[in-house]
Structure formats: C-alpha cells, structure tokens
Amino acid sequence: MHQDEGFPVSRRGVIAGGVASATLVAAPAAAQAQTQGTAQSAPPTMPVTLKVNGRTTKINVDTRTTLLDALRENLKLTGTKKGCDHGQCGACTVIVEGRRINSCLTLAVMHEGEEITTIEGLGTPEKLHAMQAAFVKHDGYQCGYCTPGQICSAVATLGEIKAGIPSHVTGDISAQPTVTTDELRERMSGNICRCGAYANIIDAIHDVAGTERSA
C-alpha cells in the first residue's frame, strides 16, 4: 500500500501482532459496525467513491461506517486517529472540501466524490508539510497520538483566520482576525492533547504563520 512506503514496520502491525487478537485483525470493520439485532438480515451496505489525498477509491461500506473508519479500515490510511469517537477530542480531524471536520461524526456515504485531505496527504516523511516540520522543530507532541489531528486542524485554522472567519476571542468581529496566541488557543480548543504539549503546538503554529507567541 502506497501510504505504508517508508514504514515497513508500522505501530499498528506491532500492536496487532503483540496482542494477537484475531478478531481485531481479521474483522476490523465489525469493531464499529456492531450487528446486534440484525442477525437475520445483513446490514445495509452502499457503494461510495472517496477522493482522498488526490486518489479516488470506490468502496462498498456498511451505511454505519464513519468517514474515520472508512479511512482507517477500508483505505488503510491509519494516520487519522480514533480518540473519543464522539467529536470531543479532535484526533480524527481531517480536511474535507477545504474545511476541517471530525471524521468520527460523519458517515462515509455522506462524502461521495468530495475532496478529502488526511495527514498522509499534507506531506510525506521525505517532504514534510511546513506544519509537520514545525511540530518536529518545536516538539509539539509527546506520544504523538493527537498529532495528525492537531496538524490538520492547525493547517485549517490558519486558513480560517486568513478567510476572515471570526472566533470567540476576536475583539472586533467585523475586522480581519489576526494570528495571535489567544486566537490560536481558542481556535484549536477542539483538539485535546493528553500529554499537554499545548505550548509547543502554539509555537509550531506561530512559526508557520510567521508570528510570535505572546504570554
């Protein structure tokens, strides 16, 4: 799979092998699409064409499949992470039609033909996106689990400020917002970091924007 190039031993492979969970490996889709109550009839499925990182793939999914599960389980793009699975943590953040969204709170079948960008589409290990490089430079993570969501959210956040979208801390909502530390903190509040790397994440985003952190 193209997205695994450069990662011959993935963390996923290590974990799956380590716990030797046959059901986890063999039937990942069933993990979310539980079939209780529908033992007699197969749950409804639908074809959907997903355009992810410039690559078009037609898949057939249980209608319950979230965009997050389709990315991870069907397209094997495991950069996008599942944290809370309820839109509270932001680990699953991807960019759809130019907008960041929680991929756990939307169905795959609702994104027929839409342009989806995941962390794998922003940069590669050889050619990092500026935001990825800045997170490395500023140590914007510890465990790294929230990082793909943080980076997708950060890239979109700078876009939202540039597009003039106001935030809760924007003083004059009629004026063009600017990249300040308060703005970044407020706009990134949908991405939780259990390790508490927030200060360094803010530094990384400021670096990309060419602005300075204020106290």
Partner 1 sequence: MKAFTYERATSAKEAASAAVRTPGAKFIAGGTNLLDLMKLQIETPQHLIDVNGLGLDKITPTADGGLRVGALVRNTDLAADARVRKDYGVLSRALVSGASGQLRNKATTAGNLLQRTRCPYFYDTTKPCNKRQPGSGCAAIGGFNRNLAVMGTSDACIATHPSDMAVAMRVLDATVETVNAASQTRAIPIADFHRLPGATPNIETSLAHGELITAVTLPKPIGGTHIYQKVRDRASYAFALISVAAVIQPGGRGRLAFGGLAHKPWRVESAEAQMPNGAKATASAVLAGARTTSQNAFKLPLVERTIGAVFEEAKA
Q: Interface residues with partner 1 (CB under 8 A)?
A: 32-35, 37-38, 43-44, 46, 62-64, 66, 85-87, 90, 93, 99-102, 105-107, 109-110, 153, 156-157, 160, 163-168, 170, 173-174, 185-191
Instruction: For residue 110, give the amino acid letter.
Output: M
Query: Least Å distance between CB 16 and partner 1?
Result: 24
CB nearer to partner 1: give 20 or 39.
Answer: 39
Q: Nearer Cβ to partner 1, position 38 or 57?
A: 38
Contact 87, 23 (CB under 8 A): no
C-alpha span between 38 and 102 (Å, rounded)? 28
Residue 45 and residue 109: Cα distance in Å, rounded? 10
Nearer to partner 1, 170 or 200 (CB): 170
CB of 146 to partner 1, least distance (A): 13
Shortest distance, position 117 Cβ to partner 1, whole Å: 14
Closest distance of CB 62 from partner 1, Å: 8
* CB nearer partner 1, residue 151 or residue 156: 156
Residues whose CB is less than 8 angstroms from the CB of residue 67 and which lie 6 or more positions away in sequence, other chains included: 94, 96, 103, 104, 106, 107, 108, 110, 111, 116
**Minimum separation from the CB atom of position 185 to partner 1 (A):** 7
Give whichever of 87 and 144 is closer to partner 1, judged by the CB atom.
Answer: 87
Closer by beta carbon to partner 1, 112 or else 139: 112
Least gap, CB of 115 to partner 1 (angstroms): 14
